[in-house]
Structure 1
């Protein structure tokens, strides 16, 4: 299997945040450089990596030899580095934040049971269940889905139709994901909350039944290809 290997200046580290959620990416520091490595399996990933301001880009073969992208002669060998998964190398803390007691002086934001039906937009499942499903699911079903993986090996799957897996289902109100059969008590206050916490629209806000919530960057979702899901296995 060939890998991408890219070398960046440390000052370019903020640019790597754009790809920190892609599965299978590893990074390491070396003096004034940052090295990035990942399998060459996904066209979307390849395109995203090519857009980064790398000083050098290589193909790495199974022996660790580095080749120019369009060359057939090795020019170097991959050095011994302390590789870390990208999410550990560029940590982003996304804890479940305690629900604010007040958004205004008059109203608090609460979740209440709802008798109104809302179609499911997301499903939180265990990584093992998601990987087992992906091994046999038709490609046409996977191609309609995107997923994001948490550090605790929970997977949030979005798309239609959602996979027939055990988990917690959510429906979507604007950019707020709410547990199935629950709704916000005050929709108008919910809109103000979304504007305050997600003014640029780059996040999803995920609510749990107990009122805790967290932000998830929309760019953390990747296409549900079989290859990409395999790269989510712990230790890869």
Structure 2
């Protein structure tokens, strides 16, 4: 089986966040470079990967030999590196942001207790509790759910109905996930805030009760399957 192998400058690391959720993608680093390795896919999926600002792009054969894209003679061999799954190489943290969420420099969004009921859209819980539930839950319940795993070992589950497990529940407003029984001090600002911080609609904005917030890429959520949940528990 052939792989793509791409070599980047370390300064180009932020560009790689665009593909951190790709299946089968591994990364490693040297003192000056970042290396990516990924199975060859069909053209529609390969194109975004090849569009990254790589210094070198190779095809790797089963013996680890590296070939230029348009050549049949190997030019190097894959070095022995400490490869990590991409989601571990570029981890994502769910629990909170170091800075308060702000619409402008003069106004910080605040959360206040709300008397209005909103149905839950997401549940943050521990990975062990999530796997225990998944081992026995009916397939029809799991098929309605998606989840994302943080480097800290927390899981954010989305879907309906949410699993009946202990954790922190959130409801959804304008791609903003707010803690259950809380709302923005000025709810009308939700749309403006979402437009400013999430203009392309590619993220959920997860708020905590203290007003801290974190962006989570929507593409990081994967279907809830027993095999997928078990695999992520092993990797963590």
- TM-score scaled by length of structure 2: 0.73
Task: Provide the residue aligned with 2:17 in structure 1.
Answer: 17
Q: Secondary structure at the match of 2:82?
A: coil
Inter-CA distance 109–151: structure 2 relative to 1 (3 Å threshold): same
Distance in 2 between residues matched to 1:128 and 1:8, nearest whole Å: 35
Change (3 A) 1:93 1:169: closer
- Note if 1:152 corresponds to 2:158: no
CA separation of 1:155 and 1:119: change in aligned 2, threshold 3 A: same
Which residue of structure 1 aligns with residue 68 of structure 2? none
For the pair 1:223 / 2:223, whether they are aligned, the reply is yes
Q: Do the aligned residues in 2 keep the contact of 1:23 with 1:228 (CA within 8 Å)?
A: no
Of structures 1 and 2, the one scoring higher in RCO (CA 8 A, sep 6+) is: 1
In structure 1, C-alpha distance between the alignment counterparts of 2:23 and 2:166, rounded to whole Å: 23
Correspondence for 1:233? 233
Query: Deviations along 1:85-105, whole A, 9 cap, x unmatched?
Result: 313434567751432577475
CA contact (8 A) 1:103 1:189 kept: no
Shift of 1:138: 2.0
Task: Write the distance in 2 (CA, Å) between the matches of 1:15 and 1:183.
Answer: 34
Structure 2 stretches of 5 or more lacking a match? Answer: 51-56, 65-76
- The 8 Å contact of residues 176 and 207 in structure 1, kept in 2 or not, is answered as yes
Structure 1 residues 45-54 or 194-203, which shifts more?
Answer: 45-54
**Residues 1:96 and 2:67 aligned together:** no
Structure 1 residues 50 and 129: CA distance shift in structure 2, 3 A = farther
RMSD over aligned CA atoms reads: 3.8
Distance 1:192 1:223 in 2: 30
Q: Closer, same or farther in 2 for the Cα pair 1:92/1:120, shift >3 Å?
A: closer
Once structures 1 and 2 are overlaid, which stretch shifts more, 116-125 or 220-229? 220-229
Distance 1:21 1:203 in 2: 13
Q: Secondary structure in 2 aligned to 1:233?
A: helix
1:4–1:230 distance in 2 versus 1, CA, 3 Å: farther
Query: Secondary structure in 2 aligned to 1:10?
Result: strand
Equivalent position of 1:117 in the other structure: 117
**CA displacement at 1:34 relative to structure 2:** 2.6
Contact 1:7-1:33 at 8 Å conserved across structures: no
Deviations 1:34-64 (A, max 9, x none): 34268xxxxxx99996564374366x7xxxx
TM-score by length of 1: 0.73
Which residue pairs with 1:133 in the alignment? 133
Is the aligned partner of 1:7 residue 2:8? no
Structure 1 unmatched runs, 5+: 39-44, 67-76
